Amino acid sequence: MSRSKQPQWDFGELFPSEENRTILTVSELTSRVKVAIEAHVGEVWVTGEISNLRQQASGHAYFSLKDDRAQLACVLFRGTRVGQRDLMEDGLKVVAQGDLTVYEPQGRYQLNVRSLELQGVGELQVRFDKLKQKLQGEGLFDNERKRALPKYPQRIGVVTSLDAAALRDVLHVVGRRQSSLEVVIVPSRVQGQGAEMELARGVDQLNRFAESSSLDLILLTRGGGSIEDLWAFNEEVLARAVSSSSVPVVSAVGHEIDFTICDFVSDVRAATPSAAAEIITEGAVALRGWLDDIGYRLMREVRRRLGVGQANVEQLSGRMRRCHPRRRLQDHMQRVDELSEALRRGRVIHLRGMMERWKMLSDWLRRFRPGQAIALRGEGMTRLRADFSGRMRFRLRCKSDHLVRLEERLRLLSPKNILARGYSITCNSQSGEIIRQAAQVKKGQRIRTHVSKGEFDSSVE
């Protein structure tokens, strides 16, 4: 594809007639071809698939653009500003813009690329896949890093927009399922340029808050949207903040089908903001059900004991009725009356005591907050973390000193250091093979010599 005007070719000067025949050297012919191409073609736009990509240590990139019938050599110099440079890879279809020219030492025409546009796969998707592959290689997605959420959280931090529907959904579910749960909100933009920095600062701010106050977990959330709307949750700065968080992080971004880098790095991924609130309050809902079950079992036990007492009373009454001596019968009847009254009072007292005990247990369980136990464990973890950090700093110092020594040895053995002392390296211009003996070259062969600052070509005479 070309966006430049159709060139008008004129080869009259390049190839003179037989009468005015002029014999040119290869260099002169190549120079004329270069001038003709640059003058008549110049700037072009071309599309093709990247192949044979080579990223040189100098910072220049060499590759070819190809289609099913031809290929074009391209070079992207280090100083050329191209936004998609880090996304380049073999097989990627692009549109390149640049100047068509001739590389005279090899007589090959090439495109000096000045801008690059992705085709086919979108730029955001390529960036997403590359960052995902990078962080996965570092182990940030490993299940071994995932931490379990507290079963009975008492205070959570939420990083989201104050105007987001996701925040309203979370607060509604929390209020319905666990009204005692405290929610600390750190407002942040959830889309647009710079939103990822605000989200990362929100995570860091809650971590600092957790150092002086109890905080059980952090929730990162927003509603659904396009990949551009959700892109702040795919940035590396936010992924690093989540992975380094000392407090467990729950990610609830978008809808069930949406996945972000933040989802992979966080300890728990929820399909929706409402689902995240249900996961967080699951322990409290289960505890409330257990309390209801305890109350039912207490009432059932009271009824059972009352039934047993009533049966005993009826049994005693029957035995009294079967006694023949009148006096004994009267004594027993009086005793029955006394026992019946005592049993009635005792039953009432016992039932009242059972009810008070059940109420006391219910109140105690309702006031029960596992935060105190978690806080004690947190202090132990803090001490362990401090001890671990001290040991790690010591080991890092040792490794750093060792690395400095190795770096110094490597610098002394570096070929660049040898070249700086006045030596040079000569190689075959075409194959790149290093020449160590005079027998490796022949007359007229082009060779390239590398010195401390630069390189130059020469011919064997």
Mean pLDDT of 127-148: 86
pLDDT in tens, 414-437: 777 777 777 888 898 888 888 888
- Is the same domain home to 248 and 109? no
3-state secondary structure of 219: strand
In a domain, residue 406? The reply is no
CA distance 419 to 156: 61
pTM for the complete prediction?
Answer: 0.45
What pLDDT is stored for residue 248 in this prediction? 93
- Which of 333, 367, 401 is a domain's end point? 367
In a domain, residue 195? The reply is yes
pLDDT in tens, 51-80: 888 888 888 899 999 888 889 999 998 888
Strands (E) in 78-125, as ranges, are 93-103, 108-118
What pLDDT is stored for residue 439 in this prediction? 83
Residue 368: pLDDT band (50, 70, 90) is low
Mean pLDDT of 331-338: 74
CA distance 165 to 416: 60
Residue 178: pLDDT band (50, 70, 90) is confident
What pLDDT is stored for residue 417 in this prediction? 77
- Which of 121, 138, 159 is a domain's end point? 121
CA distance 430 to 440: 13
In contact, 273 and 221? CB cutoff 8 Å: yes
- Is the same domain home to 316 and 352? yes
Residue 1: pLDDT band (50, 70, 90) is very low
Q: Write out the H or E segment, with its range, that includes residue 73.
A: strand 71-76
The number of domains in the chain is: 4
Residue 2: pLDDT band (50, 70, 90) is very low
Among 272-281, 361-370, 392-401, where is mean pLDDT lowest? 361-370
Integer-rounded Cα Rg, in Å, for the chain is 41
CB neighbourhood size of 289 (10 A): 10
Among 12-21, 100-109, 195-204, 303-312, where is mean pLDDT lowest? 12-21
In a domain, residue 18? The reply is no
> What strands, in cross-sheet order, belong to the sheet with 268-269?
182-187, 155-160, 217-222, 249-253, 268-269
Averaged pLDDT score across all residues of the chain: 82
Strands (E) in 148-289, as ranges, are 155-160, 182-187, 217-222, 249-253, 268-269
What pLDDT is stored for residue 4 in this prediction? 46
Residue 134: pLDDT band (50, 70, 90) is confident
- Is the same domain home to 197 and 231? yes
Among 79-88, 98-107, 347-356, where is mean pLDDT lowest? 79-88
The amino acid sitting at 460 is: V
3-state secondary structure of 426: strand
In contact, 312 and 320? CB cutoff 8 Å: no
CA angle 362, 368, 370 (to 5 degrees): 150
Task: Please report, for the domain that includes residue 35, its CATH number.
Answer: 2.40.50.140
Model confidence at 237: pLDDT above 60:
yes
Q: DSSP alpha helices (H): ranges in 105-194?
A: 123-137, 165-177
Residue 325: pLDDT band (50, 70, 90) is low
What pLDDT is stored for residue 120 in this prediction? 53
- Which of 262, 280, 298 is a domain's end point? 280
In a domain, residue 1? The reply is no
pLDDT in tens, 432-450: 888 888 888 888 888 888 8
Residue 323: pLDDT band (50, 70, 90) is low
Closest CA to 95 of 73, 125, 65: 65
Residue 376: pLDDT band (50, 70, 90) is confident
Mean pLDDT of 9-26: 64
pLDDT in tens, 282-292: 888 888 777 77
- Is the same domain home to 260 and 351? no
- Is the same domain home to 66 and 195? no
- Is the same domain home to 262 and 313? no
What pLDDT is stored for residue 317 in this prediction? 72
Domain of residue 37 covers 26-121
User: What is the percent of the chain with per-residue pLDDT over 90, rounded to a whole number?
Assistant: 13
- Is the same domain home to 190 and 256? yes
In contact, 72 and 66? CB cutoff 8 Å: yes
Alpha-carbon distance values, 40 to 4, 63, 103, 104, 296 (Å) = 10, 24, 17, 17, 94
Token pair 């036990």: residue: 301
- Is the same domain home to 155 and 249? yes
CA distance 121 to 383: 49
Task: Please report, for the domain that includes residue 211, its CATH number.
Answer: 3.40.50.2300
- Is the same domain home to 140 and 191? yes
Model confidence at 334: pLDDT above 80:
no
Q: Tokens for 444, please give them.
A: 């007229």
- Is the same domain home to 130 and 276? yes
Model confidence at 199: pLDDT above 90:
yes
In a domain, residue 322? The reply is yes
Beta-carbon contacts of residue 229 (< 8 Å; ≥ 6 apart)? 191
- Is the same domain home to 62 and 76? yes
In a domain, residue 408? The reply is no
pLDDT in tens, 304-320: 888 888 888 877 777 66
Model confidence at 17: pLDDT above 60:
no
The amino acid sitting at 312 is: N
In a domain, residue 21? The reply is no
CA 148 and chain centroid, separation: 18
In a domain, residue 10? The reply is no
- Is the same domain home to 182 and 258? yes
What pLDDT is stored for residue 329 in this prediction? 65
What pLDDT is stored for residue 10 in this prediction? 55
